[in-house]
Chain A
Amino acid sequence: MLKVDVLRVVQDPEYADSLTEAHWHALAADPAWDELVGEFAELVAPVLARYGTKLGIPPPRPAIPSTPAQENPEEFRVLGKRVPRLHGLGVVTHLGQYTQNIRMPGMLYTRTLRSSVPHARIKRVDTKKAEEVRGVVAVLHRGNLPEEYRGVKLGSGPPERFLFNEEVFEVGAPIAVVAAESEHIADEAIQRIEVEYEVLLPTLDMMEGVRPSTPKQWDNKENGTIVAVTPPLLRGDPAAAQADVTIEAVLTKSTEQHLALELTNSLMYWDQDRLVVYYTTQHAHGCRAGLSQALKIPANRVRVIQTGYMGSGYGYRSGADLAEVHTAILARITGRPVRTTYTREEDFVTRTHRPEFRNEMKLGVNRDGTLSFGEFRVYANVGAQRAGAANGSWFIMQDLYRIPNLKLEAIDVFTNSYKSGPYRCVSHPNGTFAMELMMEKAASAIGMDPVEFRLRNINEEGNPDTKKPFSNPGIRECITACADRIAWKEKWHPPKTKEVRPGVFHGIGFAAHACSHGAGTNPATGQLIINTDGSVQCVSGSTEIGGGQRTQMLMIAAEALGVPLSSVSIAPYVDTDNTTDTGSTSGSRQTNTGGRGMYEAALDARRQILNHAAQKFVEDAQRKNEPFQVSPDQLDLRDGEIIVKAEPGRKLRLEAVMQSVGLPILGRAIYKQDSDWERTAWAAHAAEVEVDTATGSVRVTRYVAAHDVGRAINPFALEQQIEGGIIMALGAVFTEEMLIDQGTGLPLNPNMLDYRPLSIQDVPEQIDIILVERPKAYGVFGAHGIGEPPMAPPAPAVAAAVYNAVGVWMESMPLTREKLLAALKNVR
Chain B
Amino acid sequence: MKSFELYEPTTVQEAVGILTKFGNRAKVLAGGSDLVAGVMKDWVEGEGMPLPDALVDLTTIPQLRGIRISPQGATIGALTTLTEIIESKDLKERFPLLTQATHSIASPLIRNYATLGGNLNQRPRCWFLRGREFNCYKKGGDSCFSVTGDNRYHAIIGGELCYIVHPSDTATALLALDARAKLAGPAGERTVPFDNYFISPREDVLRENILKPDEILLEVFIPAPSPGTRQAWTKLKNREVYEFAVVSVAVAFTTENDTWKDGRIVLGGVAPVPYRAAVVENQLKGKNIKNSIKQAAGVIRTVARPMSMNAYKVELTQNLLERTILEALA
B contact residues around A746 at 8 Å (CB)? 131, 133-134
Residues B246 and A817 in contact, CB atoms below 8 Å apart: yes
Q: CB of B309 within 8 A of chain A?
A: yes
CB distance A761 to B2 under 8 Å? no
- Which residues in chain B, 15-51, are within 8 Å of chain A measured between CB atoms? 42-43
- Which A residues between 719 and 775 are near B, CB-CB below 8 angstroms? 734-735, 739, 741-744, 746-749, 752-754, 756-762
Task: Specify the chain B residue showing the minimal Cβ separation from A739.
Answer: B150
- Chain B residue nearest to A758 (CB atoms) is B239
Bound CA span A184–B41, Å = 10
Q: In the complex, what distance in Å separates the CA atom of A749 from the CA atom of B134?
A: 13
Distance (Å) between the CB of B182 and the closest chain A CB?
31
Residue A822, interface by CB 8 Å: yes
Residues in B90-140 with C-beta less than 8 Å from chain A: 107, 125, 127-128, 130-134
Residue in B closest to A117 when the chains form the complex, CB atoms: B133
A694 contacts chain B at the CB level, 8 A cutoff: yes
* Selected interface stretch from B198-206, B217-225, B272-280, B311-319: B311-319
Q: Are A756 and B316 in contact (CB under 8 A)?
A: no
Q: B15 to chain A: closest CB distance in Å?
A: 26
Given contacts A191-B43, A694-B319, A818-B152, contact A759 B240 (CB under 8 A): yes
Q: B107: nearest residue on chain A (CB-CB)?
A: A759
Contact in complex: A821, B315 (CB < 8 Å) = yes
User: Roughly how many angstroms separate A191 CA and B45 CA in the complex, as a whole number?
Assistant: 12
Distance, CA A198 to CA B48, complexed state (A): 27
Interface centre among A116, A735, A759 (most CB of B within 10 A): A759
In the complex, A742 Cα to B3 Cα: how many Å?
Answer: 34
Is A188 interfacial (CB-CB < 8 Å)? yes
B149 at the binding interface (Cβ < 8 Å): yes
Report the separation of the CA atoms of residues A822 and B314 in the bound assembly, to the nearest whole angstrom.
Answer: 12
- Output the least CB separation between A737 and chain B (Å): 11
Query: Nearest chain-B residue to A742 (Cβ)?
Result: B149
Among B145, B236, B243, the residue within 8 A (CB) of A741 is B145
The verdict on A187 contacting chain B, using a C-beta distance below 8 Å, is yes
Query: What is the number of residues of chain B that contact chain A, defined by CB distance less than 8 Å?
Result: 35
Q: How many residues of A contact B (CB 8 A)?
A: 37
Q: Of A187, A697, A748, A818, which is within 8 A of B312 by CB?
A: A818
Is A715 on the interface with B (CB-CB < 8 A)?
A: no
User: Which chain B residues border A188 with CB–CB below 8 Å?
Assistant: 1-3
A757 to B127, CA, bound (A): 17
B303 to chain A, nearest CB (A): 20
Cα–Cα, bound, A749→B42 (Å): 13
Most buried by B among A739, A746, A752, A760: A746
A113 to B: closest C-beta gap in Å: 12
Does A494 reach chain B (CB closer than 8 Å)?
Answer: no
A191 to B51, CA, bound (A): 13
Interchain CB contact (< 8 A) of A744 among B133, B239, B242, B243: B133
B238 at the interface (CB under 8 A from A): yes
Chain A residues, CB < 8 A from B148: 743
Contacts of B55 in A (CB 8 A): none
Q: Is B285 part of the contact surface with A, judged by Cβ < 8 Å?
A: no
Rounded to whole Å, the gap between the CB of B205 and the closest CB of chain A is 20
Q: CB of B329 within 8 A of chain A?
A: no
A116, B133: Cβ atoms closer than 8 Å? yes
User: Which A182-234 residues have C-beta < 8 A from chain B?
Assistant: 184, 187-188, 191
Q: Which residue of B lies closest to A697 (CB)?
A: B236
Most buried by A among B3, B239, B246, B320: B239
Which residues in B have their C-beta under 8 angstroms from that of A695? 236, 316, 319-320
From B131, B133, B316, residue with most partner A Cβ within 10 Å: B131
- If A741-B145, A821-B312, A821-B315 touch, whether A694 touches B323 (CB-CB below 8 Å) is yes
Judged by a CB distance under 8 angstroms, whether A807 is at the interface is no
A818, B239: Cβ atoms under 8 Å?
no
CB atoms of A754 and B127 under 8 A apart: yes
Verify A756–B238 contact, CB threshold 8 A.
yes
Q: A762-B240, A817-B238, A821-B312 are in contact. Are A744 and B134 (CB under 8 A)?
A: yes
Cα A694 to Cα B294 with chains together (Å): 13
A748 touches B131 (CB 8 A): yes
Within the complex, the shortest CB–CB distance from A494 to chain B, in Å, comes to 26
Q: How far is the CA of A696 from the CA of B242 in the complex (A)?
A: 19
B316 CB contact (under 8 Å) in A752, A759, A821:
A821
**Which residues of chain A are near B130, meaning CB under 8 Å?**
754
Q: Are A184 and B145 in contact (CB-based, < 8 A)?
A: no
A739: chain B residues within 8 A (beta carbon): 150
Whether B6 is near chain A, meaning CB under 8 Å from some CB there, is: no
B149 closest partner in A (C-beta):
A741
Cross-chain contact B239 with A756 (CB below 8 angstroms): yes
Contact call B3/A184, Cβ cutoff below 8 A = yes
Contact B131 A747 (CB under 8 A): yes
* Contact between chains at B241 and A759 (CB < 8 Å): yes
Q: In the complex, what residues of B have CB within 8 A of residue A757's CB?
A: 239
- Complex CA distance for A756 and B238, rounded to whole angstroms: 8
Please judge, given known A-B contacts A116-B133, A695-B319, whether A187 and B242 are in contact too, CB under 8 Å.
Answer: no
Asked if B3 and A756 sit within 8 Å, CB to CB, the answer is no
Q: How far is the CA of A754 from the CA of B153 in the complex (A)?
A: 11
* Residue among B2, B3, B242 making CB contact with A759, cutoff 8 Å: B242
The answer to whether B243 and A756 touch across the interface, beta carbons within 8 angstroms, is yes
User: What per-residue 1/0 map shows which CB atoms of A689-702 lie under 8 Å from chain B?
Assistant: 00000111100000
B330 → chain A closest CB, angstroms: 13
Q: Which residues of B contact A753 (CB under 8 A)?
A: 125, 242
Q: For A735, what are the chain B residues with a Cβ–Cβ distance below 8 Å?
A: 238-239
- Across the interface, do A818 and B150 meet the contact criterion of CB distance under 8 Å? no
- A749 vs B244: C-alpha distance in the bound complex, in angstroms? 14
**B323-A743 in contact (CB<8A):** no
When distances are taken between beta carbons in the complex, the residues of chain A under 8 Å from B310 are 818
Residues of chain A within 8 A of B131, CB atoms compared: 741, 746-748
Is the CB–CB distance between A749 and B312 below 8 Å?
Answer: no
B312 touches A817 (CB 8 A): yes
Instruction: Check B242–A752 contact: CB distance below 8 A.
Output: yes
Q: List A contacts of B1 (CB < 8 A).
A: 184, 187-188
- Supposing A191-B43, A756-B239 touch, asked if A743 and B309 sit within 8 A by C-beta, the answer is no
Instruction: Check B240–A761 contact: CB distance below 8 A.
Output: yes
**Chain B 271-330 interface residues, beta-carbon cutoff 8 Å to A:** 309-310, 312, 315-316, 319-320, 323
A526 to chain B, nearest CB (A): 42
Docked-complex contact A696 and B316, CB < 8 angstroms: yes
Question: Which B-chain residue is minimally distant from A819 (CB atoms)?
Answer: B312
Chain A residues with CB under 8 A of B134: 741, 744, 746
For the complex, what is the distance from the CA of A111 to the CA of B312, rounded to whole Å? 41
In the complex, A271 Cα to B149 Cα: how many Å? 51
B239 adjacent to A759 (CB under 8 Å): yes
- Hey, which chain B residues are within 8 Å of A761, CB to CB? 239-241
Interface string of A366-401 (1 = CB under 8 A from B): 000000000000000000000000000000000000
A775: shortest Cβ distance to chain B, in Å? 40
CB distance from A117 to the nearest CB of B (A): 9
Which residues of the partner chain B approach A749 to less than 8 Å between Cβ atoms?
127
Please give the distance in Å from B121's CB to the nearest CB on chain A: 18
**From A187, which residue of chain B is reached at the shortest CB distance?**
B1
Residue on A nearest B320 in the bound complex, by CB: A695
- Name 28 A/B residue pairs within 8 A (Cβ), A-sorted: A116-B133, A184-B1, A188-B2, A188-B3, A694-B320, A695-B319, A696-B312, A696-B316, A697-B236, A735-B238, A735-B239, A739-B150, A741-B134, A741-B145, A743-B145, A744-B134, A746-B131, A749-B127, A753-B242, A754-B125, A754-B130, A756-B238, A759-B239, A760-B241, A762-B240, A818-B310, A818-B312, A821-B315
Pairs of residues from A and B, 9 with the lowest C-beta to C-beta distance, nearest first = A761-B240, A694-B319, A759-B241, A818-B312, A821-B312, A748-B127, A116-B133, A762-B240, A741-B149
- Supply 19 further A-B pairs (C-beta < 8 A) apart from A188-B1, A742-B149, A756-B243: A116-B132, A695-B320, A696-B312, A734-B239, A739-B150, A741-B128, A741-B150, A744-B134, A744-B145, A748-B127, A753-B242, A756-B239, A758-B239, A759-B241, A759-B242, A761-B239, A816-B238, A817-B312, A821-B316
Report A's interface with B, CB cutoff 8 A: 116, 184, 187-188, 191, 345, 694-697, 734-735, 739, 741-744, 746-749, 752-754, 756-762, 816-818, 821-822, 825
